[in-house]
Amino acid sequence: MVSEPQPSQETASLVKRLAGPSTGKAGLAKDQEDINRVIADVSKGSKFYENEKKKDKELTKKIEHILQLRDELTKKSGVNLQKIEASVDQILLKLESERDLSQTIVHFDLDSFFASVEVLNDPTLAGKPFAVGHTVLSTASYEARKYGVRSGMATFIAKKLCPQLIMVSHGFSDYSEMSHKVMAICKRYDPQMCPAGCDEGYLNITAYCAEHDITADACVEHLRTAVFTETKLTVSAGIAPNTMLAKICSDKNKPNGQFHLPFESEAIKSFMRDLPIRRVPGIGRVSERLLESVGIKTCGDIYTYRATLSLMDKQFGLVHLLRTHLGIASNSVQPPQREERKSIGAERTFPPLGDKKKILEKLEEVCAELESDMEETQWTGRTITLKYKLDSFEVFTRAKSSNRWISKKEDLFAIGQELLLPELPLTIRLIGLRVTKLKDLRGPDPSTGIKRFFDNSSSSSSPNKKRKLSLSEVDEAAEHPSETEKLENIKPISYRKEKPDSKSRQSPLERETHTCPVCQKQVPTENDAFNAHLDACLSRGAIREAQAEASPSPKQAQGNILERWTKLAPSSKKKS
DNA sequence: GCGGATCAC
DNA sequence: TATGGTGATCCGC
């Protein structure tokens, strides 16, 4: 009957979750625990908090399920962990043999971009704790970060952490102009420069360094000096043999510094060994928790637990993690292509509404915005997805495909209503619409995929074409059409158990087999046959890899950020 | 094709 | 008092 006066009921994971995604990605403050405590206390009781709690609970359940599955798979009779480790080691050898150290990749990143521009506009801000944003912070000055203030944080929480915090509102047109200036400078070092948002990007400086007979370090010093003298903005950079490593390295000596990873396999592997898995692009808070639950905190731990990851390839993606462990990733840098766009949308948050008429007004506004964007960028599409967020912060989507091309606001609104009305009555705080199955109204010709493949293969500035394969290219890339055609082979085990002993325990007369660490099928253990199978399996994996890399890869969702700015603040700078 | 989830910026 | 917007991908169904 005695319940201790507990200061809090939160689990550690919930407290961490409430601190937000940007906490933990960069170096965390020493007193981060205290800061997280304050954040949780301030949040407590809100609908946002309750929703986070719910999601945290669901994740905890999922982890329990995964651990149970792991134990089943590990303890299943006939499973020989050492054998599995040995076959994973074969994959590692194979991947290592394909390591490419020939390209010099740079990731550059402007230091607290929005905040730095604001200081240029108002020098009295220099050295003060301030943040840019409205209800949610876009960025915080370094002084503010000392208090635990982070981008993505709600303003009222930031104020609690740092009562002196100065709030500054966005000056989008300035950001857009500065961004374009910086990008133009960086392009001098690689015309194929790939922006990754408004304040960062990737370069392949191999050719530049050769032509100017300078080292990579000197080249990047030169670049950073040029950016500073021409814009008064400081930039940090990472130099490495691929984009993933370069991105991680650009954080090493931030702000206003650069870091050059040695271009040697051993140095790279020792760099990876102690690297927290969360630092890897594409590993977010959820993946971090999932991996941690099986003992993996660092990229070195991937090797320690390779047998588990092999058995649970489906849950974790074995080959991608192995490549990460080795520090192997794409070294291809290319500017984004217009035809690669997959969707265009608009969404708006507002004080929760329950009244049908008012909700429809919001929908109509979103439709008008979207129409205007689609008109400006000359896209139309066939599939409409409605998104709404309840008062409780739960998010739902409803979609409908049409035979017609949709881009007018009347059509958007009609379909939006069709999707929304059956859901009502609800109390809603956000409405969004997104259009997919796009058609380009500028350069019509939806079948440019193949053409581009051949164009690029001859003229690309970067060799390892690890770039995303479009569906039409998959067949071209597949060496063994008969085996690689369908994805079914990629999906190995389901939750049911495959007949265990019958195959792995065969008489000595039969050829011995064991489970392929990639596809989980039974494969002859004999070397040639096993290697042949491995090759096929990895090349299938490479397709999935290439797709998985689209998230860590440079060419994510950058171009539109600039478009959005120019839309919100069409003042000083005309766009392209 | 649809809906939920995760991730980046 | 109070927690954003745009775009991509993957998985399960």
Query: How many Å does it take to go from CA A46 to C1' C2?
Result: 9
Protein-covered nucleotides on strand C (Cβ within 7 A): 1-12
What residues of A are annotated to the active site? 200
Average pLDDT over residues A531-546: 56
**In terms of domains, do A54 and A172 share one?**
no
Domain, as residue range, for A118: 105-131+166-263
Cis peptide before A255 (omega within 30 of 0): yes
Is residue A91 assigned to a domain?
yes
Instruction: Give the percent of chain A with pLDDT over 70.
Output: 74
Q: Which residue has the higher pLDDT, A469 or A200?
A: A200
Is residue A484 assigned to a domain?
no
Is residue A449 assigned to a domain?
no
**In terms of domains, do A121 and A253 share one?**
yes
Number of domains into which chain A is organized? 4
Bridging pattern class, strands A166-168 and A130-133: parallel
| Span A238-282, pLDDT tens digits | 999 999 999 999 999 999 999 999 999 999 999 999 999 999 999
Query: How many Å does it take to go from CA A259 to C1' B9?
Result: 22
**In terms of domains, do A46 and A93 share one?**
no
Over chain A, what is the mean pLDDT?
Answer: 83
Which of A411, A440, A469 delimits the end of a domain? A440
Band of pLDDT at residue A521, cut at 50, 70 and 90: low
Which of A417, A440, A463 delimits the end of a domain? A440
CATH of the domain at A371: 3.30.1490.100
**In terms of domains, do A172 and A237 share one?**
yes
Band of pLDDT at residue A511, cut at 50, 70 and 90: very low
Band of pLDDT at residue A487, cut at 50, 70 and 90: very low
Interatomic CA distance for residues A292 and A86, integer angstroms = 23
Is residue A409 assigned to a domain?
yes
**In terms of domains, do A112 and A259 share one?**
yes
| Span A120-130, pLDDT tens digits | 999 999 999 99
Run of H or E including A325? helix A318-326
Average pLDDT over residues A90-116: 98
**In terms of domains, do A123 and A200 share one?**
yes
Instruction: Give pLDDT, residue A175.
Output: 96
Q: At what angle do helices A527-548 and A318-326 cross, to 10 degrees?
A: 90
Protein-covered nucleotides on strand B (Cβ within 7 A): 1-9
Band of pLDDT at residue A173, cut at 50, 70 and 90: confident
Query: How many Å does it take to go from CA A156 to C1' C1?
Result: 9
**In terms of domains, do A184 and A115 share one?**
yes
Whose C1' is closest to the CA of A394: which nucleotide? B4
CATH of the domain at A307: 1.10.150.810
CATH of the domain at A171: 3.30.70.270
CB A392 within 8 A of CB A51: yes
**In terms of domains, do A299 and A257 share one?**
no
**In terms of domains, do A116 and A251 share one?**
yes
Count of beta carbons in the 10 Å neighbourhood of residue A432: 20
**In terms of domains, do A111 and A259 share one?**
yes
Band of pLDDT at residue A31, cut at 50, 70 and 90: confident
Task: List, in sequence order, every beta strand (DSSP E) within A216-261.
Answer: 235-240, 258-260
CB A287 within 8 A of CB A320: no
**In terms of domains, do A351 and A279 share one?**
no
Residues in chain A: 576
Which of A440, A465, A492 delimits the end of a domain? A440
